[in-house]
Amino acid sequence: MLKTKIKIPEDELLLLLKNNSEMAFNYLYDNYSSALYGIIKNIVIDPDRSKDVLQDTFIKIWKNKASYDSIKGTFFTWMLNIARNSAIDSNRSKHVKYKIQFEERIVDQVNKLDGNLKIETIGLKETILKLRPEYQEILNYVYLQGYTQQDFSDNFNIPLGTVKTRTRAALSELRTLLRENL
Amino acid sequence: MNIEEYISSGILESYVLGETSDSENALISCLVKTNSNVAAELKSIQEIQEQIAFNNAQTPPNDLKSKIWNSIVDQNNTIDSTDLSSREFSLIEKNESKKDESVNQTIILRPNKSYWIGIAASFIALISFGIFSVHYMNLATKYAKEIEKIKDKETFLNKNLALKSKEIKFLSASNTKKIVLNGIENKENYRVVAHWNENDKKLVLSEIQLPTLKNDKQYQLWALIDGKPHNAGILNSTNIEDYLEMIPVEKPQAFAITIEPNGGSEVPHLEDLCVLGEVK
């Protein structure tokens, strides 16, 4: 499987996608399928169902790419949200209720060795560990485990407004620390 | 609540997660277009979210790529439309047209020359008739549309006969921009039309469809200039009429109306947003 290292600028990518070409699909898959699969697998857990959800995600992306509007954000963010929502929906339809131990997850992340990991993102894991616990917690549940902010609020009995401001604070601090590392 | 406070509440982070409501989306996309700070902040949040996603990437199984592409190709061949918002696929399969059974006939024709000339003539007549029919039908449709337009205009003019001619002049001037302010989520039947003149900067509201408020509240119009809201006047039960002059503004990017306490506010209560419209 050819892994393309060339990054196409977003407007060119969108033009390519309009053509419905296999080349466009290959570009998306080669560059983004791992990130999407990671999100999905963290939420769905079950490998077989994760594969189905990834397939579902790409089909939805392909079908609805014409409706993507850049005002919503980057194409990748758009795809991420489709992946996340598909994973959450899949869980809901299977009535999945699970509780993952917070500590266990973070240890998983740190110990996991993934050959696709880019050098510059290794620093991200260590940096997240430098954040205070409640920030790590919220980043983990919301960005990795597919909890909506409402879910998090309901599960942990924290007012939604607080969840939102804490999410912002966690991301802000993460960004600041990353900038200091450079 | 001003824009800085609104952003501090974490609304952009929710937006990037796709968890904001339609009305929040309308306001945020407006702010992103008009306020470069908001746009930059949004970009920054997306970048970190993307980094986190890449950081947690897992390689999918090898066979999945071709499997997915094949299913996309299959779907393209059988599906006409899909609706992402309903989070379902609707499969519309093309119906195979049934072929008519052919019937064998054993009639022998012995055509002569005049027969063929006759055929050719009727063929030409048929085509011409067809062409002219289509042409006249198009003309008829075109005229019907124009008649409709004229009728609409007539209705509109009759309605506004009560308006002074000066007002009509203002509304229809070529450099008066018409901006429709549409109701946000749960307020879909709210609607106000703003008219802003690029030359003299005058601002007028018409077709004001807003429910009556309690005595302690009034509507306030805001003009978004350089991404910041500026007061453009108050609407209350005493002054709401069909041609309402507001405060002139320079270079508005958008207009919005919020509910404020009597006397108005310095900064808008964004949670009480009613209608919003961009100046194009």
Res B103: pLDDT? 41
Give the amino acid at B172: S
A35 with B11: Cβ contact below 8 A: no
For residue B78, the number of C-alpha atoms closer than 13 Å in the C-beta half-sphere is 9
Q: Is B57 helix (H, G, I), strand (E, B) or coil?
A: coil
Task: Quote the CA–CA distance of B154 and B157 in Å, as a whole number.
Answer: 5
Q: In A, which residues are within 8 Å of B48 by CB distance?
A: 171, 174-175, 178
Q: How does pLDDT run across B150-172, given as a tens digit for each residue?
A: 888 888 777 767 567 778 888 88
pLDDT at residue B125 greater than cutoff 70: yes
Beta bridge partners of B233: B221
Q: Which parts of chain A register pLDDT below 70?
A: 1-6, 95-122, 182
Q: Per-residue pLDDT tens for B25-63?
A: 888 988 888 888 999 999 999 999 999 999 889 999 999
B41 touching A, CB under 8 A? no
Residue B127 is encoded by which pair of tokens?
A: 């085509």
In three-state secondary structure terms, A165 is helix
Interface check B26 vs A, CB under 8 A? no
CB B118 within 8 A of CB B111: no
Residue ranges of B 93-122 with Cβ closer than 8 A to chain A: none
Question: Which of A26-40, B91-105, B233-247 is the least confident region?
Answer: B91-105
Which of A53-62, B140-149, B174-183 has the least mean pLDDT?
A: B140-149
How far is A94 from chain B, CA to nearest CA, in Å? 16
- DSSP single-letter state for residue A9: P
| DSSP state letter for B252 | -
The ipTM assigned to this model is 0.81
**How high is the pLDDT of residue A122?**
53
What whole-number distance in Å separates Cα of residue A123 and Cα of residue A146? 23
Residue linked to tokens 């699970």? A98
CA distances for B214 relative to A128, B210, B234, angstroms: 50, 13, 15
Q: Which amino acid is it at B125? A: A
* Contacts of A174 by beta carbon, 8 Å cutoff, 6+ apart: A127, A128, A131, A135, A139, B48
Q: Are B14 and A149 a contacting pair at CB < 8 A?
A: yes
- For residue B154, what are the contacts with CB-CB under 8 A and spacing of at least 6? none
The predicted structure's pLDDT at residue B93? 31
Q: Write down the pLDDT at residue B94.
A: 31
Task: Calculate how close chain A gets to B44, using CA atoms only, in Å.
Answer: 9
Q: What angle do CA A97, A109, A47 make, to 5 degrees?
A: 50
Give tens-digit pLDDT for B202-232.
999 988 989 888 888 999 999 998 888 999 9
- Report the helix count and the strand count for chain A, using DSSP H and E: 9, 0
The reported pLDDT for the residue numbered B101 is: 38
On the question of pLDDT at B130 being above 70, the answer is: yes
C-beta neighbour count of B74 within 10 angstroms: 11
Higher pLDDT, B181 or B122: B181
Pull the structure tokens for residue B222: 């805001």
- Angle between helix axes A160-181 and A119-130 (nearest 10 degrees) is 130
C-alpha A98/C-alpha A95 separation (Å) is 10
Angle formed at CA B75 by CA B71 and CA B80, multiple of 5 degrees: 170
Which residues are CB-contacts of B228 (< 8 A; sequence separation ≥ 6)? B3, B35
